[in-house]
Amino acid sequence: MHTENDIFNRTELLVGSETMNALKEKRVIIIGIGGVGSWCAECLVRSGIHNMTIADFDNVAITNVNRQLMAVQSTVGLPKVEVLRQRLLEINPNANITAMHKAFNEDTAESFRLDGYDYIIDAIDSLKDKVLLIRLACATKAKFFSSMGAALKMDPQKIQVAEFWKVRGCPLGAALRRKFKQTNMRPARKFKCVFSEELLKNKGTTDEQCDYKAQINGSVAHITGIFGLTLAGMVISDIYNKNKEEEKQQ
C-alpha cells in the first residue's frame, strides 16, 4: 500500500514539508464541478489538499463528455459530485471529500456554511446564483477565487487572471458588474478571477435544454481545463506564498 509520502513526494520536493502540512490542513469548497470545477478539484487533490467539499446539483450528461473530468459513457446519468468524489478518493484514499448534491441559491446558501472554509472557489454558471455566491463569499474571511465565462473560447494564450473589476471582454463579467451596480450591493472586498477576452460565435446547433442558462454555448476541454487548473494553482500558490512569508518572519 502506497503512503501519502509516496503520492506527494514530487510536490514536497518543490514546496517543502511545511507547505505540504498547510495544504493538508486547509479547507476548500468548489461550487460547480462542471468543465471548470472538476479539473480544479482534481488538481487540488493531486497537490495535497485533503479537506474539500464539492457541490453541484447536476447529473452527468452525454454532452458533458467533451470537457468534464468525470464525464464518460459509463457515468452518464449519475450525480456529478458522487462520481468525482470516487475519482478523487482513488487518487488519495485518505482525503476528506464531502459531496453536496445540491444547487447553490437563495434557498440553500445557508446550508453551505461558507464561513467554515479557508478557500472558496466559484465555478457556477447561473448569473443570479453567481451574484449571490460572490456577495456571500466576500463577506467571509476565506480567500475567494472566481471563474468567469469559459465558453466560446479557443485560444489558451488569451486566458488570464485579474481583479474582478478589471476583467474586460467577458460578457459574464460585464453582466455581473451591472447586477452589482444596479442593486448597489457590491462585493465587500476585491477578488481575483480567471477569464479570457476571446469571444467566438456558435457555429453548430443543439436541441439540448437547460433551465439555468439563457442559451447553450460551445466549449472545449482545453479551455475549461485551463480555467480550472488556474484556479487550483491560485489556491496552491497562495498557500505556498503565505507559508514562505511565515518562514521569513520566524
Locate the domains of the chain by residue range: 4-249
pLDDT bucket at 73, cuts 50 / 70 / 90: very high
Average pLDDT estimate for 160-165: 98
Q: How many helices (H) and strands (E) does the chain have?
A: 8, 7
pLDDT at 1 over 70: no
Residue 214's pLDDT band, with cuts at 50, 70 and 90, is low
Q: Which pLDDT does position 246 carry in this prediction?
A: 84
User: What residue type is assigned to position 90 of the chain?
Assistant: E
Q: List for the chain the helix, strand, coil content (%; round to 5).
A: 45, 15, 40
pLDDT > 70: percent of the chain: 96
Predicted confidence (pLDDT) at residue 212 exceeds the cutoff of 80: no
**In the predicted structure, residue 250 carries a pLDDT above the cut 90:** no
CA distances to 28, 34, 199, 217, 230 from 21, in Å: 15, 29, 41, 41, 22
The pLDDT assigned to 5 comes to 77
From residue 149, give the alpha-carbon distance in Å to each of 99, 127, 248.
24, 11, 38
Q: Which fold has domain 4-249?
A: Rossmann fold (3.40.50)
**What is the predicted pLDDT for the residue at 244?**
87
Indicate if the pLDDT at residue 224 is higher than 70.
yes
Cα 108 to Cα 100, 138, 242: the distances in Å are 11, 17, 32
Helix H or strand E encompassing 245: helix 221-249
Identify whether the C-beta of residue 137 lies closer than 8 Å to the C-beta of residue 144.
yes
- In degrees and rounded to multiples of 5, residue 123 shows phi and psi of -135, 40
Q: Over the stretch 21-69, which tens digit does the pLDDT of each residue have?
A: 999 999 999 999 999 999 999 999 999 999 999 999 999 999 999 999 9
Say which range, 79-83, 120-124, 128-132, 208-212, has the weakest mean pLDDT: 208-212
User: Among 22-31, 184-193, 213-222, which stretch is predicted with the lowest mean pLDDT?
Assistant: 213-222
